[in-house]
């Protein structure tokens, strides 16, 4: 199975300031088609996860441009350029290169 490790697990953030989450995979997520099969999800309190970023760097429909994803191979980063109060929740990375699909442990973002 592909192990997924996120850091930090807890992220106190200040509104208007940037924030960053790291996700590391135990093997490369780079497919032969040139895409990295790494997605980012946000689970707001009491809600189901919603897709933010797919294939490492592509914003999903309706996601604000303050969210961006980067990385390749085994190391990936989700960045929020300016944190807003509605960004509170748990962020998960997910690899879909192979089954079983696996998730990072989650990073809880809270407002300071």
Partner 1 sequence: QVQLVEAGGGVAQPGKSLRLSCETSGFNFRSYTMHWVRQAPGRGLEWVALMSYDETYKFYGGSVRGRFTISRDNSKNTLYLQMNSLRIDDTAVYYCARGLNSVFDWRTDYWGQGTLVTVSS
Binding residues vs partner 1 (CB under 8 A): 1, 37, 39, 47-51, 54-55, 60, 92, 94, 96, 98-106
Shortest reach from residue 14's CB to partner 1, in Å: 26
CB atoms under 10 Å from CB of 54, counted, come to 19
Of 81 and 88, the one with the shorter C-beta distance to partner 1 is 88
Shortest reach from residue 16's CB to partner 1, in Å: 29
Of 13 and 49, the one with the shorter C-beta distance to partner 1 is 49
Residue 68 · residue 59 · CB < 8 Å: yes
Q: Determine what percent of the chain falls in helix, strand and coil, rounding each to the nearest 5.
A: 5, 50, 45
């Amino acid at each position: 199975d592909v192990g997924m490790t996120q850091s930090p697990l807890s992220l106190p953030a200040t509104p208007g300031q940037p924030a960053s989450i790291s996700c590391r995979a135990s093997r490369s997520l780079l497919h032969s088609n040139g895409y990295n099969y790494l997605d980012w999800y946000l689970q707001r309190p009491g809600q189901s996860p919603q897709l933010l970023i797919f294939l490492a760097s592509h914003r999903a429909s309706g996601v604000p441009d303050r969210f961006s994803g980067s990385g390749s191979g085994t190391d990936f980063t989700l960045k929020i350029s300016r944190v807003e109060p509605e960004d509170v929740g748990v962020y998960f990375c997910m690899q879909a290169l192979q089954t079983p699909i696996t998730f990072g442990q989650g990073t809880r973002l809270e407002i300071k």
